[in-house]
Amino acid sequence: MFLSRQLVKRHANAFHFISPETFQAEVDGLDAQLPTLNSDQIFVGMDQIVNSIGDGHTYIRIPDDAPTFPVEFERFGDDYRLTQAALAANVSDVIGQKLMAIDGMPIDRVRALLLTLTPADETQALRDLRACVLLNNGLVLYGLGITSNRDHVSYTFETEAGQLTLNLPAGSPMPQSEWLRAAMTVPLYRQHPDEPLWCLSFEKEKAVYCSFQSYKNLRESSRAMLDLLHEKQPQYLILDLRFNKGGDFGLGLKYLIKPIRRMRSINRSDHLFVLIGPRTFSAAMSNSAQFHDRTKALLVGQPIGEKPNSYQEAREMVLPNSHWTVRYSIKFYKFTQGSENLIRPDKEIPETWDDYKSGHDPVLDWVLQQCTPGAPLLAFEKGPPRYLAARDRLFLDRLDLQASPQIPAGDRPIGSPGFGDLQHHHRLRPLAFLVVLLDGRLHSVIANRQNIRMPQGKHQEHVGGPDADALDLSEMRNDFVFGHTRHALKLQQPSLGFFGEVPQVSGFLPRKSDAAHLRIAELENAVGSKRIAGQRGKSIKNDSRRLPIQLLIEDRSSHGVKRRLAKLHAARSYAFDDRRQDGVRFLQVVGRFAHLS
């Protein structure tokens, strides 16, 4: 069979869940029945085989011309409820009622059949969601043998007056916006489904709520969101991903996670909330995990349906005869290190039928209760927000890796690099280039025979993208790693509080002749003990007025300090930080104000 051969060939690992023998047996069984099956039955049989691969990105897309019935269901607990329907005879009598049977087949049996068209190795929550969506699809119901006619269906409901049957033809006599709904009101996260990203300000709670439903035009919509945050200066941000079906998680990382991470007034414990649920899928699942790992965000809601460590990144092929579109995964991603392959919220809040019917959103209500007026606020800095002012960054941002330190042979000391690589200078502004010409070189020293290795990812089955491009300076600086042959030391993440140990840099601006200073940060050794390298509160003077960059290494021979000093280029914790690198902050100029970022 063409489908099975191509699927095994193209999928990253077609047999990660199902054995080759079982897979082939299913293929042979369908192949033997093909002469007796109609097109809907063939589609169902092939989709069952594809879903047996297991991951949520591998399936056959239902054709656009498949008949559908003008109803929608949702599952609450073990019950399927009719939540929306086009106006028809006696539909008002069954709206909101429990579904008991389809064409006389009990709903438990219907569910068991529908689950065969869901990814076999995903969570039960995701499989039940997909099965629920298929309850109004004529092709699927007929192909599974649930109905006897692909264009007509009978739904049986349990009501206070007894069981009632709703008979419906395929197609809708009216737009869905005019359908009858079971909910008294529509909660925020179900509103504006066609808007990719929209926001609402809660003035009393000093919070901004943003419903992030799609990655479409995220660059523009995220800019509008950031403008709103700068205008309102809220204490709390609520980002709702419960109805986000995915897209390009790299866009979410770039336009949402990174800017929000740099907002000190919001990126604090109990001030940043990300709402998740079973429908949070694909890129939205990835970004939820990244929000949790890279910011102070609190995940609230229900567990995400898709497994975070699974085969993803879908590609498509079109079958030559039927022209059906088959999707398959080409890469394995790992978004959690825990023993449980599941993203659970920090605060789990279920949604009940009573909540839905009344239009009550218990998840958002709980979050708003946490947004207590009068909570302490680290205010936004004056002037334009830092995350919108990339064009105003000081030229120092461009000097991060002009030339690599020259590693000596043997024991002789390392020498400073020369003028630097000229191909890097075309990216500099004229003033920066002049500074380079006058300064001549970076002053880089490595003591005690340290090794510097090429930039590479650490624990990187997948953290949102590939390792840094060794030919791209802006990427290299973010993944530059310093190793030591005898002791594993790392700079402690500087605190963002008023008394945190952060680098204090001066002497870089035009007309400033003062020598630059660098406050010494704490070092933490491999066993977790902490000492202050040098003297706390004192600075090191750099009379050359070059970049004051210094890696401090313990030297136990004097006041507990033993190894010589080595100079380290301060790299901004900005572009691709999965918390495996140290947050040495960097000077930048926004408008007329200088900031450490």
CA distance 305 to 277: 7
Q: Rounded to two decimals, what is the model's pTM?
A: 0.64
* Confidence band for 373, pLDDT divided at 50, 70 and 90: low
- For the stretch 454-488, pLDDT in tens is 344 444 333 334 333 333 333 333 433 333 333 33
CA distance 294 to 267: 10
The rounded radius of gyration (Å) of the Cα atoms in the chain is 29
CA distance 189 to 351: 13
Domains and CATH numbers, the chain: 71-181 (2.30.42.10), 188-307+342-370 (3.90.226.10), 389-597 (no CATH)
Helix 39-51 crosses helix 2-10 at what angle (to 10 degrees)?
Answer: 30
| Residue range 330-337: mean pLDDT, rounded | 93
- For the stretch 6-38, pLDDT in tens is 999 999 999 999 999 999 999 999 999 999 999
- For the stretch 182-218, pLDDT in tens is 998 999 999 999 999 999 999 989 999 999 999 999 9
H/E run at residue 530: strand 530-532
Both tokens assigned to 432: 């920066």
- Taking all residues of the chain, what is their mean pLDDT, rounded to a whole number? 74
- In b/e form, how buried is each residue of 73-104, taking b as 16+ CB within 10 angstroms? bbbbeeebbbbbbbebeebeebbbbbbbbbbe
Contact 489, 523 (CB under 8 A): yes
> Is residue 341 over pLDDT 70?
yes
Closest alpha carbon to 182 in 244, 109, 99:
99
| Residue range 393-408: mean pLDDT, rounded | 34
Contact 591, 394 (CB under 8 A): no
Closest alpha carbon to 505 in 426, 586, 418:
586
Please name the residues in contact with 246: beta carbons below 8 A apart, sequence gap of 6 or more.
215, 281, 282, 283, 284, 285
Give the pLDDT confidence score for residue 337 in this predicted structure: 86
List own/partner pairs for 334-342 with CB under 8 A and 24 or more apart: 334/308, 334/309, 334/461, 334/462, 335/285, 335/286, 335/289, 335/290, 335/308, 335/309, 335/462, 336/289, 336/308, 336/309, 337/459, 341/307, 341/308, 341/309, 341/310, 342/123, 342/303, 342/304, 342/307, 342/308
Write the DSSP string, 8-60: HHHSS-TTSSS-HHHHHHHHHHHHHHGGG--HHHHHHHHHHHHHTT--TT-EE
CA distance 187 to 192: 10
